[in-house]
Amino acid sequence: MSTLSSSSRVRTTVPTTPTASRVASTHATQASPHYSTTRRHSLYGVEDRVIIDPGSRIWKVGFSGEGRPREVLYAGGKSGTALWGLERAVNPADRAEENKLLSINLERCLRSVFHDSLLTDPKARKVILVEHPLLPLYIKDVIAQILFDNLQVPSISFASSHLLSLFTVGRITGLVIDCGHLESVALPIFAARPMFPQLRTTPLAGARLSSHLRALILLFGTYLPPPTTLSASANIPASSRATRVPQEVLTDAVIEEIKTRCCFVGEALGMADERREATPLGDLSSDIDIPPSDTTESDFSFAGGESASSQVDSDFSIVSTPRAPISDDRSHSGENYLEVLAAMYKRTSTATDLTMRVVPPVSQQTGTGHGTLVIPGWIRERSAEVLFEGGDVDESSVAETILDSLLKAISPLLFALWSL
């Protein structure tokens, strides 16, 4: 009989299917990738917090200790619609439906922040929520409920947006102006303590700038529809195709792109006397009828006598007079005021006209390609002047808001010094 040698190998274990060890879920905090790539850390050590700055339209998200946000995103998606406004529904049923829709949109945004933008586990990250001084309480409740119940974050800390902005420049005392989409807010801060009683606001903000920019382009801009055939683009001159700007072209996305990429703030007008002489209708500043961004028809769009294929006199010229009479006296006075502004700003503007490719209206999509929008240079340079035009008690300019906040903040400080 043969026997096995002592050097032969013998299996000591039964072969089984390999299995991966299950990683137990934990709520322990983790260090952000930024911690291992820089020597400049946040105040919280390795436990870098998630920073969320929620706005009605734009959100900024990132990690603490980093010099810039990881991502700036539109809360309403590509359409750029606002999640909430300054007014709420009065009817209880409508308000309940509004709150339900708001909760759904906020949950979608917060999940996108953690899973798409930051790529981190919400259970392992403490959150710092940048809080606007006038953020409605019901919105804060909805955000906190979603973060705790749905995403199960360990903790939430609320921090003043104005105070954090002041910290970024190494100061603890100053006046911070936040120009958002719905309103502009001026808040004085003394020794790292916001002086909320001296807070001043004005509705002259991003939404008003968008409406004003839309009204100026509708009245003074030029639109070149796409040619019907390829041969027509070479044979028909641009002056023969130029028309008034259709309102369907100026969507919220187009206005936002013009506002962020094309507009700039020019130098202040030097002589106040020239401005006073060039604006004899200064008292009409409070009567301007600016078409809102969600309307379907506008007094500044042409109607009646001429069609969209009517011609203008010169290539890429600025349309300075209305094509059709407007019966509404208030709209007519507002249009005259805009024409006075155009006459004044054209003399001092040095900006050039800009062409922009836009999607044509549905009635013109049978042609070839996109339409061309011609934006006058003075509109690009002077459209932001609407934020600095005063004359209304309820809608003070940004400069008046800053001055009022300073005067209210200085008075108690002087009284405290005198009492010493």
Q: Give the model's pLDDT for residue 348.
A: 82
Looking at the predicted structure, is the pLDDT value of residue 70 above 70?
A: yes
Beta bridge partner(s), residue 184: 179, 202
pLDDT at 151 over 80: yes
Query: Mean pLDDT across the chain, nearest whole number?
Result: 75
Residues 6+ apart with CB under 8 A from 192: 163, 166, 172, 173
Q: Residue 214: its pLDDT value, please?
A: 93
Domain boundaries, the chain: 50-169, 171-202+396-419, 206-268+336-395
Q: Quick one: CATH architecture of 50-169?
A: 2-Layer Sandwich (3.30)
- HEC-encoded secondary structure of 147-201: HHHHCCCCCEEEEEHHHHHHHCCCCCCEEEEEECCCCEEEEEEECCEECHHHCEE
Q: Which two tokens stand for residue 273?
A: 């006397």
In contact, 154 and 27? CB cutoff 8 Å? yes
Rounded to an integer, what distance in angstroms lies between the CA atom of residue 50 and that of residue 300?
A: 46
Q: Specify the range with the lowest mean pLDDT, choosing from 4-8, 13-17, 344-348.
A: 4-8
Answer whether residue 328 shows pLDDT above 70.
Answer: no
Mapped onto helix, strand or coil, the DSSP state of residue 314 is: coil
Q: Which of 375, 61, 31 is nearest to 219 (CA)?
A: 375
How much is the pLDDT for 4? 47
Dist CA 241 CA 382 (whole Å): 27
Each residue's pLDDT tens digit, 21-35: 544 444 455 555 555
Which of 17-31, 52-66, 283-297, 384-398 comes out lowest in average pLDDT? 283-297
| % of the chain surpassing 70 pLDDT | 66
- Residues in contact with 32: Cβ distance below 8 Å, sequence separation at least 6, in sequence order: 48, 63, 65, 66, 120
- Phi first, then psi, for residue 315 (nearest 5°) are -70, 130
Task: Report whether 220 contacts 379 (CB < 8 A).
Answer: yes
Taking residues 56-75, what's their average pLDDT?
89
- Judged by average pLDDT, the poorest of 19-23, 32-36, 202-206, 217-221 is 19-23
Taking the whole predicted model, whether its pTM rises above 0.85 is answered as no
